[in-house]
Amino acid sequence: MICFDIRDEKRLKKVSDTLENYGCRVQRSVFECHLENDELASLKAKVKRVIEPNEDQVRYYVLCPRDMKKILIDGPGIVTPNPDFLMV
């Protein structure tokens, strides 16, 4: 799970566009991403080049499959499925 608080609109758009290439937006500033370690490292490097570290904040929460099962949602929405797995 990745969430962010970006102060500048241009940087916000760039970070948001970058994250859309890696995961699914579940709230305005929250994305659920199913990433391997190398994908996460690549994403973090791209985001780091965009943000202003003294003004912006991006948080990366690594959740194991057991933690994913504990996500509770009030209101519409589902936890995004891992695209690497097919449930039948």
What would the pLDDT profile of 22-69 be if each residue is shown by its tens digit? 999 999 999 999 999 999 999 999 999 999 999 999 999 998 888 888
CB neighbours (10 Å) of residue 55?
11
pLDDT of residue 77: 80
What is the phi-psi region of residue 5: left when phi exceeds 0, alpha when psi lies from -120 to 50, beta otherwise?
Answer: beta
**What does the radius of gyration of the chain's CA atoms come to, in whole angstroms?**
14
The pLDDT of residue 4 is above 50: yes
The pLDDT of residue 19 is above 90: yes
What would the pLDDT profile of 32-42 be if each residue is shown by its tens digit? 999 999 999 99
Residue ranges and CATH numbers for the domains of the chain are 2-68 (3.30.70.240)
Q: What is the DSSP letter of 7?
A: S
pLDDT band at 16 (very low <50, low <70, confident <90, very high): very high
